[in-house]
Amino acid sequence: MVKLKFLAIPAAALFLASSIAGCSGASDKAKTVEASAQSGHLTIGISFDRPGLGIKTPDGSFKGFDVDVAKYVAKKLGVEESSITWKEATPAQRESLIQNGQVDYVVNTYSINDARKEKVAFAGPYFLAGQSLLVRSDSTDITGPESLNGGKKLCSVTGSTPAQNIKKNYSTDAQLQEYDTPSACVEALKSGAVDAMTTDDIQLAGYAAANQGKLKLVGSTFSKENYGIGLKKDDTAGRAKINDAIQSMIDDGSWAKAFESNVGPSGYALPATPVVDRY
């Protein structure tokens, strides 16, 4: 019989290893935007599948209005694009990614609201949007939220503000189906699995532009959404720095330029310039 030998590890060594591991996790969660920037690297949460806003291209690079905003802010913090790690931040994951220290900040059509401010802080807003509807190009009976009756199937993204708005504010018998990503909603709409998709108009404009002849926006907007940059709840200094960067982007013309180059081709008109809220 082979006897197995076990090495005895002193209790003090075990305690030290455990303490180091614990401190590392706590440090990641407590790290501020400024501390990360001073280390020369930032991890930023964006969308990977929203045309015109945040999309991962076939060559592995990222482009879109949100991406340009994120890069501008990073540069103002002293971090070049080459020192940014991009991380996908779906609507359902944004708060947890920020709270767990997996990202330094999130720039991903992130509507500022009171419920979210209980969990994270927001800089901005950097954009003003409104909820709308996307349907197939041959659809004629859906013209706005009030027409979502007769058992129509409506798609939205899990954890998103639009899904919550429909549930809370509109009397409709539509069957709300929530998907993890907006691109999954788009595919369901194109295939006929759902009758309409709802999210903010700037996002839908990008999908309509990417699917010309197949999808279209209908009706007018029926909400007001202020997009903010999400970061850790108690990172007051980081929020101030990001607010300064957003204001600088607006003032020097980079904000309008980024919008026109990324979203302008969809036909979506340049909206009102946001007023940075330093709450």
Q: Residue 51: pLDDT above 80? A: yes
250: exposed, middle or buried (C-beta count within 10 Å: 0-12, 13-18, 19+)? Answer: middle
Q: What is the pLDDT of residues 154-182, one digit of tens each?
A: 999 887 888 778 778 876 788 889 998 88
Instruction: Tell me how far CA of residue 72 lies from CA of 38, 40, 105, 179, in angstroms.
Output: 16, 15, 13, 31
Residues 242 and 255: their CA atoms lie apart, in Å, by 14
Provide the pLDDT confidence category of residue 32 given band limits of 50, 70 and 90.
very high
The 10 Å Cβ neighbour count of residue 238 is 24
Q: Tell me, what's the pLDDT at 173? A: 82
Q: What is the mean pLDDT of residues 54-83?
A: 97
**Better-predicted residue by pLDDT, 183 or 20:** 183
- pTM beyond 0.85: no
The rounded Cα 78 to chain-centroid distance in angstroms is 23
**Better-predicted residue by pLDDT, 202 or 30:** 202
138: exposed, middle or buried (C-beta count within 10 Å: 0-12, 13-18, 19+)? Answer: exposed
Q: Contact 109/47 with Cβ under 8 angstroms?
A: yes
Tell me what percent of the residues of the chain surpass a pLDDT of 70. 88
Q: What is the mean pLDDT of residues 97-108?
A: 97
Q: Which domains does the chain have, with CATH numbers?
A: 31-129+227-266 (3.40.190.10), 131-218 (3.40.190.10)
| Bond into 162 cis (ω within 30) | no
What the block records as the tokens of 221 is: 């907007």
Q: Residue 13: pLDDT above 80? A: no
Mean pLDDT computed over every residue of the chain: 88
Q: What is the mean pLDDT of residues 140-149?
A: 89
Q: What is the pLDDT of residues 184-239, one digit of tens each?
A: 999 999 999 999 999 999 999 999 988 989 999 998 898 899 999 999 999 999 99
Q: Residue 269: pLDDT above 70? A: yes
Q: What is the mean pLDDT of residues 46-62?
A: 95
Q: What is the mean pLDDT of residues 232-256?
A: 97
Q: Contact 223/130 with Cβ under 8 angstroms?
A: yes
Q: Residue 2: pLDDT above 60? A: no
Q: Tell me, what's the pLDDT at 43? A: 98
Q: Residue 15: pLDDT above 80? A: no
Highest mean pLDDT among 8-12, 47-51, 97-101: 97-101
**Better-predicted residue by pLDDT, 86 or 176:** 86
Q: Residue 95: pLDDT above 50? A: yes
